[in-house]
Amino acid sequence: MLNIDLTGKRALVAGVADDAGYGFAIAKALAEAGASVVVGTWPPALNIFLKLLERGKLDESRQLSGGRVLEFEGIYPLDAVYDTLEAAPEDVRTNKRYVETGDFSIGGLVNRLVEDYGEQPLDIVVHSLANGPEVQKPLIESSRAGYLAAVSASAYSLVSMVQRMSPLMRPGGSFLSLTYMASERVVPGYGGGMSSAKAALESDTRTLAYEAGRRYGVRVNCISAGPLASRAARAIGEIDQMVKYVAENAPLTDPLTAKEVGNAAAFLLSPLSSGITGTVLYVDKGYHAMGMAVASEQGF
């Protein structure tokens, strides 16, 4: 029998703050396959996430097969907008939600991982990070600052993580990020430069696959997932309509689940996909293949 076996491997999943999004689903799938999981959480959400875990609010969603439970080997503060602590503005470093977390930068996380687990502590890195402060604004109304913020948080953060974490990878290491079809098709309502950021993320996936593959022997792939009504996605404002529209128009009409994306991620991050790199894999019930909409009640 051909199984995904990640026993003995350690995965970092950056961008987990609750149990509703793709990041959590991927972490759960990796743990199901036997990996140990550490997560990076945005500092303003860190205490809330820790309290949810402490109070047992996530116990049901953490259940794995065989009576096992998803346990996080480590939970670290991470604001991937900053490569180093010194790069963060003073008002961020002294903010009450940041000041007690220590070094929350990408470089800070790298140092903590090495301190806690040794010189090469990682086999897997998942980039489940995206933010656009003006996502509800049409692109034509977006400010330069809002546009650049979206690209910085959602795309350059992958470049920085591959740059700094590739040396931490053991042989066979693999990176994975999450994109969305707005990178290549117009999705009204997905604004503020976020569509541009996803296009950059996909382009960077290909270039990083070549550069990091030649330099460090790691793989870099990306999943283009369909819309999911997660807490983070509700910032878009029309996510429920988007989910319904895709379900009505995709070749497979049952709504996409986070678990399906998690399972696809586990495959791409496992030795079973050792020949795959520089690839964007669609996990969207086939919606990306459609060239004409099916009649919809929504008119969205």
Is residue 169 classed exposed, middle or buried when 0-12, 13-18 and 19+ CB atoms within 10 A define those classes?
Answer: buried
In the block, which residue shows the tokens 């480590």? 74
Exposure string over 70-100, b if 16+ CB within 10 A, otherwise e? bebebbbbbbbbbbebeebeeebbeeeebee
CB-based contact 73:37 (threshold 8 Å):
yes
What's the pLDDT at 300?
A: 45
Partners of 224 in the β-ladder: 179, 282
Higher-confidence position of 102 and 1? 102
**Six-digit token pair at 79?**
């604001």
Q: How far is CA 194 from CA 15, 45, 79, 284, in A?
A: 17, 21, 18, 19
In the block, which residue shows the tokens 């998803």? 70
Using one digit for the tens of pLDDT, what is the confidence trace for 22-35? 999 999 999 999 99
How far apart, in whole angstroms, are the C-alpha atoms of residue 198 and residue 194?
A: 6
Question: How many other C-beta atoms are found inside a 10 Å radius of the C-beta of residue 214?
Answer: 9
Using one digit for the tens of pLDDT, what is the confidence trace for 10-68? 999 999 999 999 999 999 999 999 999 999 999 999 999 999 999 999 999 999 999 99
Is residue 270 classed exposed, middle or buried when 0-12, 13-18 and 19+ CB atoms within 10 A define those classes?
Answer: buried
Higher-confidence position of 243 and 56? 56
The residues carrying an active-site annotation are: 180, 190
Using one digit for the tens of pLDDT, what is the confidence trace for 268-285? 999 999 999 999 999 999
What's the pLDDT at 243?
A: 82
How far apart, in whole angstroms, are the C-alpha atoms of residue 16 and residue 40?
A: 6
pTM of the predicted protein model: 0.94
Q: How far is CA 146 from CA 78, 84, 111, 184, 204, in A?
A: 21, 21, 30, 20, 20
Question: How many other C-beta atoms are found inside a 10 Å radius of the C-beta of residue 57?
Answer: 13
What's the pLDDT at 126?
A: 98
Domains identified in the chain and CATH numbers: 10-286 (3.40.50.720)
> In the predicted model, what is the mean pLDDT of the chain?
94
